[in-house]
Amino acid sequence: MKYQSYWHDTAPVFAAAQDGPVAGRFDVAVIGGGFTGLNAARKLAREGVSVALLEADHVGAGGSGRNGGHLNNGIAHGYASAKTHLGADRAHALYKAYDRSIDMIEEVIAEEGIDCNFRRAGKLKLASKASHVDGLKANFELIHREVDPETRWLERDELSGEIGSEDFHGGMLYEKTAMMHMGRYVTGLAEAAARHGACIWEGAPVTDRHRNGTGWKLVTPKGTVEADRVIVATGAYSGRTRAPMLRHFRRRIISVGSFIVATRPLTEAEVARTLPGNRTYVTSMNIGNYMRLTPDNRIIFGGRARFSATSDQRSDAKSGEILRAGFAQLFPEFADIQMDYCWGGLVGMTKDRYPRAGEVDGMLYGMGYSGHGAQMSNLIGQALADMAMGREDTNPLAGLDWPAIPMHTGKPWFLPLVGAYFGLKDRLS
């Protein structure tokens, strides 16, 4: 078994990174080479803005290349809850922003000719317990009536053509949801940004920032760049560097591990007995699972598994064993199937699970996608580019307050308590 992201292992390597020292004067410097930063860099470069992108590792090394491969529309933790906390108008606008984010991905893929297996598959949210049906159905009825008529409710007896498990009691189908090969997309996006003129440096973590007249100087081990504007797109990985400039975000982002295994390729007959609907799937448990087929018919099966802020081979292996047991429970026939990949990544959570984008301390930022970043990061990246160019009307998160989390300085010591709380909720639900 490879302890490596399937998306990284099966994608072409980005070959257009700068091979010289970090240097130069730019209109905008972007910190972070995931979907947010690359979308910002691509849009800026297309519009003639000189842009440098500084990535600590390689493009897509963080959450953009370590996720489950879902492009889900809909708000992460429920439209009804969003109406309560944000108000009806803002909740409606945020829901539509998730729809728009998937449209934007589809447009970028077409414009740049990116081969990444994009497909409108639909997402099925599955009721894991009979007691979950009423709440999930009420959420469906509200969403279907107010904001998304392209949704359907499936009764339990309609699930056999969707998923080969008897464990579920109904489900809500979101028709707009898509899937793609995340590694191929991130490489294609980086190549497009470079082709339009963006200078992208890999292995160049930003360690400090200094005022330089009306702009900024960004320091890396490979050299420095100067820029008039700075965009921070580090998300859950903001805590990997102790750069003082990122302290603001470390106090507001909770980095939580999400872990994934991928099976060997399945035969067509095996697909028909596991995920015949070929959609993205997510269960209704608080500590639940998500799954989908890859282009070569592996099942990617992921979840929180353990409430940990560490993702390395040892941590991933522990979580992989938990995921294997969960997979066997859903699909007993395949309890002993070979798992070819096991990996983890960090999800950037906010306390209220709403993402944030705005400006603080002279820096534009977009992060805190809370598990729905594969899609929303694309829209926010382009909105940050607009903001850097003086356009303020494309940010759906503008003005959303973002207070610091009390007693949180970047290391989420409270995660075991959170895991115990949600585990208890699942047992009692």
Rounded Cα–Cα distance for residues 357 and 365 (Å): 5
Q: Is the CB of residue 288 less than 8 Å from the CB of residue 76?
A: no
At 247, phi and psi to the nearest 5?
Answer: -60, -40
pLDDT at position 306 over 80: no
Residue whose C-alpha is closest to residue 94's, from 104, 83, 84: 83
Domain ranges of the chain: 6-388
More confident residue, 260 or 407: 260
The residue written with tokens 């580090």 in the block is 234
CA diameter of the chain: 67
Percent pLDDT > 70 in the chain is 99
Helix (H) and strand (E) counts in the chain: 11, 18
- Per-residue pLDDT tens over the stretch 268-302: 999 999 999 999 999 998 889 999 999 999 999 99
Average model confidence (pLDDT) for the chain?
94
Compute the Cα dihedral for 404, 407, 412, 418 and give only its sign.
Answer: negative
182 residue type, one letter: M
pLDDT at position 20 over 90: yes
More confident residue, 420 or 406: 406
pLDDT at position 359 over 80: yes
Using DSSP's 3-state secondary structure scheme, residue 429 falls into coil
Using DSSP's 3-state secondary structure scheme, residue 374 falls into helix
Question: What pLDDT score was predicted for residue 399?
Answer: 93
- Per-residue pLDDT tens over the stretch 169-202: 999 999 999 999 999 999 999 999 999 999 999 9
241 residue type, one letter: T
Residue whose C-alpha is closest to residue 125's, from 92, 163, 69: 163
Question: What pLDDT score was predicted for residue 128?
Answer: 96
Question: What pLDDT score was predicted for residue 242?
Answer: 67
Question: What pLDDT score was predicted for residue 239?
Answer: 66
Domain range 6-388, CATH architecture: 3-Layer(bba) Sandwich (3.50)
Residue whose C-alpha is closest to residue 232's, from 243, 50, 109, 223: 243
> For strand 123-126 and strand 170-174, is the pairing parallel, antiparallel, or unpaired?
antiparallel
The residue written with tokens 């709380």 in the block is 421
Question: What pLDDT score was predicted for residue 137?
Answer: 96
The residue written with tokens 């991933």 in the block is 316
CB atoms within 10 A of CB 237: 23
pLDDT at position 235 over 80: yes
More confident residue, 425 or 59: 59
Question: What pLDDT score was predicted for residue 307?
Answer: 74
pLDDT at position 356 over 70: yes
Mean pLDDT of 98-112: 97
- Per-residue pLDDT tens over the stretch 129-172: 999 999 999 999 999 999 999 999 999 999 999 999 999 999 99
Mean pLDDT of 19-32: 97
Confidence of residue 241 (pLDDT cuts 50, 70, 90): low
pLDDT at position 378 over 70: yes
